[in-house]
Structure 1
Amino acid sequence: MLDYKHSNLPTLLKQLADARHRQLLLVTGRQAWCYQQSEQLLTQSSDCLVLSNNQLLSQAIWPDHLHQILGQEFDHLIYDGFSGILPNKIAAAAGTVKAGGLFVLLLPELSELEHWIDSAIQRWSSEGYTPTHSYFLNRWRQLWQRQPAWQISEKHESSLPKNYHPSGPTTCGIEAQQHVLSRITSALINNHTPILLSADRGRGKSALLGLLAAKLPEQPFVICSRHFHALHSCFAMRANTLNQPVKHNSKTLANLSYLAPDALLQQAPSLDSNTILLIDEAATLPVHFLIQVAQLGFRCVFSSTLVGYEGNGRGYTLRFKRHLATHYPKHLDFTLTSPIRYASNDPLEQQIRRLFALECKIKPPSSSYQYSMRAITQAELATNNTLLEQVFSLLVLAHYQTSVDDLRQLLDAPDLYLYGAFCDDQLVAICLAVLEGGMPDPLAQDIINGKRRPAGHLMSQQLATTYGDRHFVSAHHARIIRIAVHPDMQRRGIGSQLLSAVENSLPRHISAVGTSFGLTTELLTFWHQQGYQPLKIGFKQDKASGEYALIALKPRKEPISASYQALFRQGFVYQLRTTYQHLDTSTVTAVLATLQSQQVSSEQLSYLHFLSQSTPNEQQICPFLWQLVTLQPILVKSLTNISSELIIRLVLQQHATQVVQQMLGLSGKKALVIKLREALQQVYEYFRH
């Protein structure tokens, strides 16, 4: 198939096919030589996907989005490492290789990886930084030194085995899939308790959802996922049961329809009460969204990949399952363990997991309540695989969109600060920060003018373009990327102490520390308690989480300009009537509690006293309460729940009177005015004290 160095490769491929296994093959050497070997492979295969941005390779494509290759299958796949090492793309591509196939990875000689810089590293670099090495690739070199892979080398002897023998039993999961399908079908017919379906990639989980809709053709099914294109196998299986071709862009097929996460919550009241909800890749969605879905009252199946490149937050397996155990103790939990598209103990699957630390599992901490904190370097992570897996497992646990691209960022991003908390030798918490800013004035001005958007410096650039102040990009800042604490160690102040340790370790020239996160009451309260002041809230909700991104800043030198705080306060209160009109009242209250207050005039206090002693109507109360709240936003937090909700919904978000009456369960206009007067009286008492 290729040259004399690997004349036994055809024999190995036949043995690989007999075992229904797939294998990673490294082709290493000069770029031109690697391309020559690839061309020979292409002449022997009629079904080979070539991922490269170099047109010297025949049939080469370099898709920008993973959905362009997901759902397809190929006899072999060639990935051109000289085009850049993109972990998400490699992991996704590996899933398209058929049983008996090769994943061919083109690289320089392994001995050169310690100093080789691939083009993709720029994605994890920032403006003004020139990478000189890659800890990520150096880790690969060390892994292959410890566990040699199939390799064809230009300079060295090839390391192909004489024969291929499976390392363990090879089984197929079709029978297990059908068994789980029957049990889930029966459960949906007989009860309404939530159902969990978990599996690693390649186990036929998404296809099972399509078969489930076919098993109950009289029932309407709505399937929800972060990305419609990820549901190809589900719709393909449903189409197959109908003997119909797959229409790739159609979001409805017989009794199966697709809704995006945000659309599902919005349209839930209008769905047929017999609808069954299928939540695919549930681990990539926020836990609070999953809880909302479970509370809708429909029969639900929450399906998820627990190991994969898609983003596999273990918050799903820990926090969501904990919620179900408390509120739905009779919920059912099914797992598919055996692959279908290839046999068990597949070498390629094991190699991909090892290369991208996908085998990392969160372990319970020791019973000790004592812990120590220290800095962790990227060089240490590159050589200490156990520590790297502990760090990555906590990051996966902390955020629902963590992917293998984040593993490369962890190892190769410049100016990264890491601090960890340890119980004995086990990591139980991690805090990551990255340096931003420090840009020259001409570039800073170009950013303000919208002419440049240099790589990195995300927080600094957003603040600069929001307030028109180039100081945000010319000054030096640090941005907290992530804080992750083991669930069994939370509520002990570890996160706050880690944050303080990182803040204290930063260079003296850092003028402020900031962070960006999805706006929730809990997160905002935490960051505000640590001294972080909100300065920007995004205008668009994340399609998966439904959350608005918030940027908060904590100055180390000069305080935040009072004018910027006033602009943020005024902008937020104004946007409550439009953009944030449907933001929940607890989150609105949390934001208001962080805002700077202004003095209320003696005339306003006199008018408040007058209203409190009379029987004012809605038209008198609402505009005046709006004045007071915009001056002293924190007062809302001091009111009773119904009063604060009434002021937020009616006065700030300006919902129609009839809508507010329904929201608060009030019998009519008279009851609403009574509650308004009670709220006014509480505001009066607030200012009296």
Structure 2
Amino acid sequence: MSQPIRWNVDDPLEHWSKETFLLNAELSELPDALSGESIYETELHWELLNKDKVMQEVATLSSAFALLVNAHYQTSPNDLMLLLNNPNMSLYTIKHRDLVVGSVLVNREGQLEGELIERIYLGKSRPAGHLVPVELCNHLALEAPALQSCARVMRIAVHPLIQGRGIGSSMLTRLRESLCREVDYLATTFGATNELVQFWSQNHFSAVRLGSSRDKASGTYSTTFISPISDQSNEWYEQAFDLYRQSLPFWLRSSAKALSPELAGLLLSQSINHEEAACIHPLVINYAEGGNAFNTVRPFLLPLLQCNELLPLLLVAVIAQEWEWEQAAKHFGFTGRKQTEQAFRQQLKQLIERLQCK
């Protein structure tokens, strides 16, 4: 798309705004060799662009912001204005031989006063600039996250030509090391996709909340991930994760029923309680072998999914998301209910065998 809708072609105000707010910033050109050679940690330079450096190193700022604009459709002029004016917002960059190859935009949140927290707790106030502490306080009834200090990763981006090389993970590790004495926990919110959930989970972040509605632009459900740092944050994090684990099955069969079974299964597998043993009801075993009816065993099926990380997607769709047989048949390519349920019984039997071997 190149034809503007809300202004004329070559509109001077549009050119001015793009130039002023760095929305036309170009990605840095990388040497051809860099796309094929190994990238070592020792070659990466991590840096905080504080307010003084931002004004002095305009080229670095432009390169870092170009990465954010390229990676995130929601990056706007407001992000640049906040970075320049908001003391709670920071921009970190990672360079390879003086070239900016990654950037992270971080917002400091939390450390709120008791009276304000009480209003948040009751849903009477939502102070701007404290997204995660407010969400955890209001939706999970936890006051500690609002009292403590949080660093929320608003945006993270790696140059598209060298993604998948560990640079994003390196930035999160360095961010944690940089802030370990200053904040109690790291956080992030994003529209859930398989790739993003896997990325954040691999970097020691865990889901504590799944949104109840889909984003109108991306069609994804917002998720909140937490990485505790201090001992104090570990205390309430366990509560938050337990609440999430208990609530997830309900969300998957209600407000988040439209999630793909792939993503629903991934979220379920990451909420497993490894200390909880599977309780396999005899009726479930009989059903898997071809006996009795699905509705007879339905109340006993969900616990099986909460004790195993390797979840067959058909089981996730039918058990956790409560899809009708017709919907499952269409999604997985079966001819109808009979063939779908036959496959369901077979996958259930394999899951039972796997659990019995533990």
After superposition, the Cα gap between the structure-2 partners of 1:674 and 1:351, relative to the gap in structure 1 and judged at 3 Å, is closer
1:198 corresponds to which residue?
A: 2
1:566–1:596 Cα contact (<8 Å) kept = no
Distance 1:376 1:453 in 2: 29
Q: What is the match of residue 25 of structure 2?
A: 360
CA contact (8 A) 1:565 1:596 kept: no
Q: What is the rounded CA distance, in whole Å, between the counterparts of 1:363 and 1:591 in structure 2?
A: 36
**Structure 1 residues 553 and 358 mapped into 2: Cα distance closer, same or farther (>3 Å)?**
closer
SS of residue matched to 2:109:
strand
Q: Does the CA-based 8 Å contact 1:448-1:465 persist in structure 2? A: yes
1:484 Cα shift?
0.5
Counterpart among 280, 283, 293 of residue 617 in structure 1: 293
Tell me by how many angstroms 1:485 deviates: 0.2
Partner of 1:570: 246
**What TM-score results when the alignment is normalised by the length of structure 1?**
0.47
The one-character-per-residue Cα deviations of 1:294-349 (angstroms, maximum 9, x if unpaired) are xxxxxxxxxxxxxxxxxxxxxxxxxxxxxxxxxxxxxxxxxxxxx7576xxx5x56
SS in 2 for 1:508: coil
**Correspondence for 1:592:** 268
CA, structure 1 residues 596+378, in 2 after alignment: closer, same or farther (shift >3 Å)?
A: farther
Q: Distance in 2 between matches of 1:198 and 1:377?
A: 35
Question: Residue 420 of structure 1: CA displacement?
Answer: 1.4
In the alignment, does 2:341 pair up with 1:685? Answer: no
Deviations 1:270-292 (A, max 9, x none): xxxxxxxxxxxxxxxxxxxxxxx
Supply the distance in 2 between the matched residues of 1:458 and 1:412 (Cα, whole angstroms): 18
Matched, 1:664 2:332: yes
**Judging changes above 3 Å, is the alpha-carbon distance between structure 1 residues 505 and 666 closer, same or farther for their aligned structure 2 residues?**
same
State the shift of 1:434 in Å. Answer: 1.9
Q: Which runs of 5 or more residues in structure 1 are unaligned?
A: 1-196, 200-204, 207-229, 234-338
Match of 1:526 in 2: 199
Deviation per residue, 1:405-436 (Å, 9 max, x gap): 11111222223333212122221101122211
Identity of aligned residues (%): 27
Corresponding residue for residue 440 of structure 1: 113
Query: Is the 1:371–1:423 Cα contact (8 Å) retained in structure 2?
Result: yes
587, 608, 632: which one aligns with 2:307: 632
- The residue identity in structure 1 corresponding to 2:293 is N
Q: Which runs of structure 2 are paired with 1:341-490 in the superposition (5 Å)?
A: 351-366=16-31, 367-368=33-34, 369=39, 370-490=43-163
CA RMSD, aligned part only?
Answer: 2.5
Asked if structure 2 preserves the Cα contact closer than 8 Å seen for 1:541 and 1:547, the reply is yes
Contact 1:364 1:488 in 2 (8 A): no
- In the TM superposition, 1:149-168 aligns within 5 A as none
Aligned to 2:169: 496
Provide the rounded CA distance (Å) in 2 between the counterparts of 1:600 and 1:621. 21
CA contact (8 A) 2:103 2:156 kept: yes
Instruction: Assess, with a 3 A threshold, how the Cα gap between structure 1 residues 416 and 611 changes in structure 2: closer, same or farther.
Output: same
Give the match's secondary structure for 1:634: coil
Q: CA deviation at 1:502?
A: 0.9
Which of 199, 216, 230 pairs up with 1:557?
230
**1:382 positional shift:** 1.6
Q: CA, structure 1 residues 363+619, in 2 after alignment: closer, same or farther (shift >3 Å)? A: same
> CA separation in 1, counterparts of 2:220 and 2:122?
28
Taking the aligned partners of 1:607 and 1:525, their CA distance within structure 2 comes to 35
Assess if the C-alpha contact under 8 Å between 1:635 and 1:686 holds in 2: no
Amino acid at match of 1:571: S
TM-score normalised to the size of structure 2? 0.87
For the 8 Å contact 1:623–1:651, the answer to whether it is kept is: no
2:103, 2:50 → 1: CA distance?
12
Alignment correspondent of 1:265:
none
The answer to whether the 8 Å contact 1:438/1:474 transfers is yes
- 2:23 touches 2:69 (CA, 8 Å); kept in 1? no
Match status 1:651 vs 2:319: yes
Q: Highest CA radius of gyration, 1 or 2?
A: 1
How far residue 651 of structure 1 moved from its aligned partner, in angstroms, is 1.7
Cα displacement string for residues 2-27 of structure 1 (whole angstroms, at most 9, x for unaligned residues): xxxxxxxxxxxxxxxxxxxxxxxxxx
Aligned residue identity for 1:666: F
C-alpha distance in 2, partners of 1:531/1:606? 38
Give the conservation status (yes or no) of the 8 Å contact 2:285–2:349. no
Query: What pairs with 1:34-113 in structure 2 (closer than 5 Å)?
Result: none
Is the CA contact 1:595–1:633 (under 8 Å) kept in the aligned structure 2? no
CA distance change for structure 1 residues 390 and 561 in 2, over 3 Å: closer, same or farther? Answer: closer
SS in 2 for 1:523: helix
8 Å contact from structure 1 (residues 433, 502) kept in 2:
no
- Counterpart contact for 1:478–1:510, Cα < 8 Å: yes
- Report the Cα distance in structure 1 between the residues aligned to 2:296 and 2:67, rounded to whole angstroms: 53
Deviation at 1:529, TM superposition (A): 0.8
Aligned equivalents of 2:335, 2:21: Cα separation in 1:
59
Contact conserved, 2:329 with 2:340, CA < 8 A, in 1?
yes
Aligned residues: 346
d(CA) in 1 for partners of 2:211, 2:352: 34
Deviation at 1:601, TM superposition (A): 5.4
Mapped to 1, the partners of 2:10 and 2:176 lie a distance apart of 49
User: 1:376: how far off?
Assistant: 2.0
Check whether the contact 1:419–1:432 (CA below 8 A) recurs between aligned residues: yes
Would you say the 8 A contact 2:207–2:224 is kept in 1? Answer: yes
Residues 558-593 of structure 1: CA distance to partner in whole angstroms, max 9, x if unpaired? 325444323212222112222111111111112112
Structure 1 CA distance for aligned equivalents of residues 335 and 9 of structure 2: 58
* 1:480 match: secondary structure: strand
- Deviation string, structure 1 residues 220-248 (Cα, Å, up to 9, x no partner): xxxxxxxxxx5xx8xxxxxxxxxxxxxxx
By how many angstroms is 1:616 displaced?
A: 4.5
Asked whether the equivalents of residues 419 and 501 of structure 1 are also in contact (C-alpha less than 8 Å), the reply is no
Structure 1 Cα separation of the partners of residues 116 and 276 of structure 2: 42
* Structure-2 separation of matches of 1:546 and 1:397: 19
Indicate conservation of the 8 Å contact 1:617/1:673, yes or no: no
**TM superposition shift of 1:599:** 5.1
The 3-state SS of whatever aligns with 1:604 is coil
